């Protein structure tokens, strides 16, 4: 029989499939199953008004059968089938917009970008990713005759009449021989087929039937020493429906327990820990969809790496069309896992189409609102669970706030928590504010390497003595978060190392100013002794028992300097945009401390010693601030000289 030629654009798509280096070849099964499901939908619809169909809803099914000897995989349905003309027009030509678009995109992008196959409904032709030959036997509903379409690839196809006793379609795929770089045998193995169906087509509403091997214990004729018949394991084959059919997210809330949801989550997203919250969304309107979302309690091991793929699974009427749809989640909530199912999306959805899809934006905005509300609720009603969440993903919220330059401020601010000096645990900012004494004007914070350093920070003493609470910030990003926040409930934030904490009375301030004028020469001498390491030396208004502390003036704090330094280290070759970010250091001395008298006295008699004192005090200031000494051995020598000489 003469071979017919594929139309040129079909041929191109077919060649792409045949030579595909795409790693997820398995999606061919998803495509064929969804075609079968559509065909059943059509006949089921006809049967509503046409008694002659002779089938009820329960009779419809999709069957998968593998024959290892013949190397064939057969996908059969008892749906509406195709006439000879339909076989010709549906399978011989690309008539569909989705495939045409696919071809266009493939022309525009280089072949190495073949990964986009996974984003398209590439349809029937995807069978050629795994097939040496494809035979389609189909009988259209209402026709007596069946037809057989056969193709071994790009050289064409043939159509001939054949026998088939009922309407429907059998797709018989002759699986390619194993190649060095590709294992095709697996598409004949029961467990592979089973898991592909589970992965992509678990929620197809028609039953997907397959012979499954099970084991059972049977009695043998042999008898053991107690006279009992010995048992042995036996494999047997059972025809089973392998898909779950009704997705958990489409079941009524009353039918699904929290445990069911948690189990589903753990199995689907490979987590061993229960999620801290499950959200169910059922929306109708501009776009209708169901979603089941999970807020995990632990971060996946690769969460903070480039490997982590954020996004929700996107389903179209129970068929998975995208495994990680990033467009459904805002970046700051990228920890959320879950599924969105909407019949408003077709299988032929491309990444490009998705990016511009208004429907996706509507869903994303709604999901953002719901996740925010859920987290807020958790914070208010179950702080222990919220803390679990926050320890895993709090940093993500902080990045969301700092990276957006305050854009997401209103959304994220009240979800933040910081470590409180009073409660000695993480608390929300609103809790800090409600605990503020009446005379307290600011929200105080101290940032540094760890809580131990911060608890002993000389500058914090005075604030704590006044009974004020301090937020101890230990994440590098924290200072940026505070800056992005600006205010919270009309209260400004103030770092305890800030020059003026506005804690003193005007008289106290005047007194210090006077002392500064009186000691100007000494203070300038101390500054000059430090060889440009500090921009100024001042008398402190905030030190109580400590001799000295380090502060910063200008825009960049010491913490920010530390952060920039880390960033710079991460940048290849150093330098870069963070190269010049250095805090302007200020050394604050405690005029009421014996060290200041020593300074004064030596300044009268031994300037060389004053210089050493100045360097010692600067070193002490660095150490208490948690800033590494520039030259530790020099410092150690200095201490010895002063003590023992
Ligand atoms: P799509 O399903 O996206 O339209 P395909 O290339 O997968 O594209 O299929 C092309 C057409 O062939 C389908 O639209 C359908 O009309 C027909 N078809 C494919 N498989 C079957 C089937 N199992 N039963 C009936 N018709 C089918």
Give the contacts of 241 (CB within 8 A, at least 6 positions apart). 207, 208, 209
Give the contacts of 173 (CB within 8 A, at least 6 positions apart). 72, 73, 74, 75, 127, 130, 131, 133, 134
| Other Cβ atoms closer than 10 A to 320 | 20
User: Considering only CA atoms, which residue is closest to atom 16 of ligand 1?
Assistant: 90
Q: Is the pLDDT of residue 109 over 60?
A: no
| The predicted structure's pLDDT at residue 176 | 95
Cα–Cα distance for residue pair 574/569, rounded to 1 Å: 6
Give the contacts of 220 (CB within 8 A, at least 6 positions apart). 229, 230, 231, 232
Mean pLDDT of the chain: 87
Helical ranges in 287-329 per DSSP H? none
Contact 402, 477 (CB under 8 A): yes
CA distances from 471 to 412, 453, 547, 553 (A): 18, 13, 23, 21
Find out whether the beta carbon of 92 lies less than 6 Å from any atom of ligand 1. no
pLDDT-derived band of residue 118, with 50, 70 and 90 as boundaries?
very low
Closest atom of ligand 1 to CA, residue 171: 23
Find out whether the beta carbon of 168 lies less than 6 Å from any atom of ligand 1. no
Q: Is the pLDDT of residue 189 over 90?
A: yes
Handedness of CA 519, 522, 528, 534 (dihedral sign): negative
Which value, in Å, is the radius of gyration of the alpha carbons in the chain? 36
Among 144, 6, 152, 151, residue whose Cα is nearest residue 83? 144
| The predicted structure's pLDDT at residue 98 | 46
Model confidence pLDDT, tens digit, residues 190-212:
999 999 999 888 888 899 999 99
pLDDT-derived band of residue 344, with 50, 70 and 90 as boundaries?
confident
| The predicted structure's pLDDT at residue 15 | 78
Ligand 1 center from residue 515 Cα (angstroms) = 90
| The predicted structure's pLDDT at residue 115 | 42
Model confidence pLDDT, tens digit, residues 566-608:
777 666 554 455 556 788 899 999 999 999 999 999 999 999 9
Strand boundaries in 242-311, DSSP class E? 277-283, 289-295
Find out whether the beta carbon of 550 lies less than 6 Å from any atom of ligand 1. no
Find out whether the beta carbon of 39 lies less than 6 Å from any atom of ligand 1. yes
Q: 56 — phi, psi (to 5°)? A: -105, 175
Q: 329 — phi, psi (to 5°)? A: -130, 135
| The predicted structure's pLDDT at residue 21 | 63
Q: 237 — phi, psi (to 5°)? A: -110, 135
Closest atom of ligand 1 to CA, residue 79: 24
Contact 615, 602 (CB under 8 A): no
Ligand 1 center from residue 83 Cα (angstroms) = 12
Among 90, 55, 60, residue whose Cα is nearest residue 77? 60
Decide which of 393 and 576 is more confident. 393
Helical ranges in 322-357 per DSSP H? 351-355
pLDDT-derived band of residue 357, with 50, 70 and 90 as boundaries?
confident
Ligand 1 center from residue 47 Cα (angstroms) = 20
Find out whether the beta carbon of 124 lies less than 6 Å from any atom of ligand 1. yes
Q: Which of 76, 87, 90, 95 to mutate to test the pocket of ligand 1 (most atoms within 8 A of CB)?
A: 90
Model confidence pLDDT, tens digit, residues 66-89:
999 999 999 999 999 999 999 988
Find out whether the beta carbon of 79 lies less than 6 Å from any atom of ligand 1. yes
Find out whether the beta carbon of 82 lies less than 6 Å from any atom of ligand 1. yes
| The predicted structure's pLDDT at residue 354 | 54
| The predicted structure's pLDDT at residue 572 | 52
pTM of the model: 0.69
**pLDDT average, residue stretch 237-260:** 90
Ligand 1 center from residue 499 Cα (angstroms) = 73
Find out whether the beta carbon of 318 lies less than 6 Å from any atom of ligand 1. no
Find out whether the beta carbon of 102 lies less than 6 Å from any atom of ligand 1. no
Give the contacts of 361 (CB within 8 A, at least 6 positions apart). 327
| The predicted structure's pLDDT at residue 543 | 85
Would you state the torsion angle of the CA atoms of residues 604, 606, 609, 614, taken in this order, to the nearest 10 degrees?
Answer: 30
| Other Cβ atoms closer than 10 A to 283 | 17
Cα–Cα distance for residue pair 482/406, rounded to 1 Å: 10
| The predicted structure's pLDDT at residue 612 | 94
Find out whether the beta carbon of 36 lies less than 6 Å from any atom of ligand 1. yes
Handedness of CA 340, 346, 347, 351 (dihedral sign): negative
| The predicted structure's pLDDT at residue 295 | 98
CA distances from 558 to 158, 330, 480, 496, 552 (A): 77, 32, 12, 12, 6
Give the contacts of 558 (CB within 8 A, at least 6 positions apart). 497, 550, 552, 583, 585, 625, 627
| The predicted structure's pLDDT at residue 577 | 55
Helix (H) or strand (E) holding 518: helix 506-518
Pairing of β 312-316 and β 337-341: parallel
Ligand 1 center from residue 28 Cα (angstroms) = 13
**pLDDT above 70: percentage of residues in the chain:** 90
**pLDDT above 90: percentage of residues in the chain:** 54
Find out whether the beta carbon of 123 lies less than 6 Å from any atom of ligand 1. yes
**pLDDT average, residue stretch 423-447:** 94
**pLDDT average, residue stretch 460-472:** 90
Helix, strand, or coil (residue 473): strand
Contact 15, 53 (CB under 8 A): no
Find out whether the beta carbon of 121 lies less than 6 Å from any atom of ligand 1. yes
| The predicted structure's pLDDT at residue 119 | 43
The two tokens of residue 546 are 């400590």
pLDDT-derived band of residue 451, with 50, 70 and 90 as boundaries?
very high
Ligand 1 center from residue 184 Cα (angstroms) = 24
Find out whether the beta carbon of 101 lies less than 6 Å from any atom of ligand 1. no
Longest dimension (CA), the chain: 119
Cα–Cα distance for residue pair 53/141, rounded to 1 Å: 8
| The predicted structure's pLDDT at residue 111 | 46
Ligand 1 center from residue 35 Cα (angstroms) = 5
**pLDDT average, residue stretch 242-252:** 89
Cα–Cα distance for residue pair 323/258, rounded to 1 Å: 24
């Amino acid at each position: 029989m003469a071979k017919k030629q594929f139309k040129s654009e079909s041929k191109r798509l077919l060649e792409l499939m045949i030579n595909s280096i795409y790693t997820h070849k398995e999606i061919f099964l998803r495509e064929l199953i969804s075609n079968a499901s559509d065909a059943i939908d059509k006949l089921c619809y006809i049967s509503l008004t046409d008694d002659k169909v002779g089938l009820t809803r329960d009779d419809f099914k999709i069957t998968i059968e593998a024959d290892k000897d013949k190397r064939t995989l057969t996908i059969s349905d008892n749906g509406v089938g195709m006439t000879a003309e339909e076989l010709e027009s549906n399978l011989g030509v690309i008539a569909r917009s989705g495939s045409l678009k696919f071809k266009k995109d493939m022309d525009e992008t280089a072949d190495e970008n073949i990964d986009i196959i996974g984003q398209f409904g590439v349809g029937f032709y995807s069978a050629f990713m795994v097939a040496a030959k494809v035979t389609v036997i189909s009988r259209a509903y209402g026709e007596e005759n069946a037809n057989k379409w056969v193709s071994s690839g790009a050289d064409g196809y043939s159509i001939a009449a054949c026998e088939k006793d009922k309407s429907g379609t059998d797709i018989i795929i002759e699986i390619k021989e194993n190649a060095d770089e590709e294992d095709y045998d697996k598409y004949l193995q029961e467990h592979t087929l089973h898991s592909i169906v589970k992965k992509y087509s678990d929620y197809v509403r028609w039953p997907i039937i397959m012979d499954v091997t099970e084991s059972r214990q049977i009695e043998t004729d042999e008898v053991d020493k107690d006279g009992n018949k010995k048992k042995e394991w036996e494999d047997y084959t059972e025809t089973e429906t392998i898909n779950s059919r009704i997705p958990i997210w489409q079941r009524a809330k009353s039918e699904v327990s929290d445990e069911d949801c948690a189990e589903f989550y753990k199995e689907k997203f490979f987590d061993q820990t229960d999620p801290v919250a499950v959200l169910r969304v059922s929306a109708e309107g501009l776009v209708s969809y169901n979603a089941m979302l999970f807020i995990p309690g632990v971060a996946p091991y690769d969460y903070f790496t480039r490997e982590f793929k954020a996004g929700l699974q996107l389903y179209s009427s129970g068929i998975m069309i995208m495994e990680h749809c990033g467009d459904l989640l805002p970046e700051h909530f990228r920890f959320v896992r879950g599924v969105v199912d909407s019949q408003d999306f077709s299988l032929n959805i491309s990444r490009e189409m998705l990016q511009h899809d208004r429907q996706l934006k509507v869903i994303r905005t709604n999901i953002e609102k719901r996740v925010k509300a859920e987290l807020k609720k958790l914070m208010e009603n179950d702080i222990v669970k919220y803390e679990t969440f926050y320890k895993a993903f709090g940093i993500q919220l902080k990045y969301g706030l700092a990276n957006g330059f305050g854009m997401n401020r209103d959304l994220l601010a009240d979800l933040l928590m910081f470590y409180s000096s009073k409660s000695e645990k993480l608390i929300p900012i609103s809790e800090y504010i409600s605990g503020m004494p009446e005379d307290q004007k600011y929200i105080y914070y101290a940032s540094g390497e760890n809580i131990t350093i911060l608890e002993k920070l000389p500058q914090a003493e005075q604030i704590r003595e006044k009974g004020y609470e301090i937020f101890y910030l230990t994440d590098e990003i924290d200072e940026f978060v505070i800056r992005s926040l600006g205010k919270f409930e009309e209260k400004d934030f103030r770092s305890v190392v800030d020059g003026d904490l506005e804690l003193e009375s005007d008289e106290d301030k005047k007194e210090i100013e006077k002392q500064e004028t009186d000691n100007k020469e000494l203070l300038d001498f101390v500054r000059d002794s430090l060889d440009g390491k500090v921009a100024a030396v001042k008398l402190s208004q905030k030190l109580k028992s400590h001799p000295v502390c380090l502060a910063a003036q200008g825009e960049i704090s010491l913490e920010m300097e530390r952060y920039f330094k880390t960033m710079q280290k991460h940048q290849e070759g150093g330098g870069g945009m963070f190269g010049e970010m250095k805090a302007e250091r200020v050394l604050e001395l405690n005029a009421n401390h014996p060290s200041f008298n020593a300074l004064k006295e030596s300044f009268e008699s031994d300037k060389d010693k004053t210089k050493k004192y100045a360097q010692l005090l600067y070193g002490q200031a660095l150490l208490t601030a948690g800033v590494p000494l520039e030259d530790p051995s020099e410092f150690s020598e200095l201490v010895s000289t002063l003590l023992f000489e």
